[in-house]
Structure 1
Amino acid sequence: MSLNVAEILHSCRFFAEVQDQAFERLLRIARIVKFEKGTLIFRENQECPGVYLVGSGLVRVFKTGGSGKEHTLHMIGPGDTFAEMAALGGFRLPANAEAVADSTCVLLPRDLFRRALEEDHQLCLQMITSFSYWVQHLVGLMGDVVLRDAVSRVARYLLNAEADDTETIELPSLKRHLASHLNLTSETFSRTLRKLIDAGVIEETDGSRVRIVDRNKLRLVAEGLSPKL
């Protein structure tokens, strides 16, 4: 089923508190953009086109070092946004973005979005509130990478991932991107998944999906309160 602009805006956590008048304003400037798997959406240091909202699919935001090595900063799925900081700050894009699955997004063009914020103080206040949650998320992510071991990091990712009614989670087809996001090697990530499977916390349903078998135990593992696996 194809998603329309209103559905994607409604599903986005960043715009969850936007009220009717402001929502209509966003609808007028928004447009659908689609990316096939493997498409480079933008490159680091390019001018920012605007704020992207993911309706379906998966987008990877990443940096590339001088040696060509890539580090995944974020994996952006349905309900989340990317490029919002550059759009609002008026600076060049600080990272690259690519579609790692066929993806449908909404684009709020930068200049039109900034003008909407200037003209609608309520919308601007709602965006500030949303940014505060985003900063809180980033602080938590940094804490995960610095303070948690590999098992806790993977467990926490699975806890926060969007699962279907059967508690099944779709992992990125290229697990090395997710491993990089968690600051792990691909080998360590695979071993960690195997530990969780062997402990009966999750089970692998196919090559790219896992199902949470015991969410309470997974939560204990994520918080470092479970016996060492």
Structure 2
Amino acid sequence: MHESPYLEGRGFLVDKLLRLPFLGSLSEKYIKQILRLSKIRTFEHGEIITPEGAYDPWVYILFSGGVRIVKKGKEIARIEEIGAAFGELAAIDGKARSASVEAIGATVCLAIDASFMNEATEPLEQALFVSVLYRLFAEVIAQRLRDSNVELIRLRSELDRLQRSQR
């Protein structure tokens, strides 16, 4: 992994981040706050971005490349949409990573230190900012749950078909 310094003062990135699906609904003020404790990380093909079972506060936004989500050695998903977020579960509950994330090809991500959510200077400002981010996290999780439900129905239908053919 190659990592930039923290991105505070890199105003040229604000417009780019405002065009991403995950961050597009935030104000410029909040984007600048996120940049203050964010880094750009680049990974080579096959490199582990976050290992299953690890504890860390980082949330990632995909800038280029893609990632495989791997649980107990099995690929369970891929993320290849530019602007997609991953790592939000650990940021929400502080528990260990539920799966590993591995780079597909050369991959570039914005790595956001989610511990920054506790660092706003004014309590009201902090509460507003954190609620906006949690709303964004909830949207990501809701879409993943919907996708998982579709896959579960497909697998159950396939299992039913296989069981009927065995009779």
TM-score of the two chains, using structure 2 as the length reference: 0.73
**Preserved CA contact (<8 Å) 1:57 1:104:** yes
- Tell me by how many angstroms 1:70 deviates: 1.2
Structure 2 spans left out of the alignment, 5+ residues: 1-11, 159-167
Distance in structure 1 (CA, Å) of the matches to 2:65 and 2:118: 26
Task: Decide which of 112, 119, 128 is 1:115's aligned counterpart.
Answer: 119
Amino acid at match of 2:139: Y
Work out the number of aligned pairs and report it. Answer: 143
Q: For 1:54-203, what aligned pairs fall within 5 Å after superposition?
A: 54-64=62-72, 69-116=73-120, 120-148=126-154
Matched position secondary structure for 2:119: helix
Distance in structure 1 (CA, Å) of the matches to 2:111 and 2:61: 7
Matched position secondary structure for 2:96: coil
Structure 1 spans left out of the alignment, 5+ residues: 150-182, 184-229
**Residue in 2 aligned with 1:32?**
40
Give per-residue Cα distances to partners, 1:159-199, cap 9 Å, x unaligned. xxxxxxxxxxxxxxxxxxxxxxxx9xxxxxxxxxxxxxxxx
- Tell me by how many angstroms 1:11 deviates: 3.7
**Residue in 2 aligned with 1:43?**
51
**Preserved CA contact (<8 Å) 1:14 1:130:** yes
Whether 1:14 aligns to 2:22 is yes
**Preserved CA contact (<8 Å) 2:118 2:126:** no
Which structure is higher in strand share? 2
Distance in structure 2 (CA, Å) of the matches to 1:8 and 1:53: 12
- Tell me by how many angstroms 1:124 deviates: 1.7
1:19–1:7 CA distance, 2 compared to 1 (3 A): closer
Distance in structure 1 (CA, Å) of the matches to 2:153 and 2:35: 41
1:114–1:71 CA distance, 2 compared to 1 (3 A): farther
Distance in structure 1 (CA, Å) of the matches to 2:33 and 2:67: 26
Identity value in percent = 22
Matched position secondary structure for 1:61: strand
Amino acid at match of 1:126: V
Matched position secondary structure for 1:60: strand
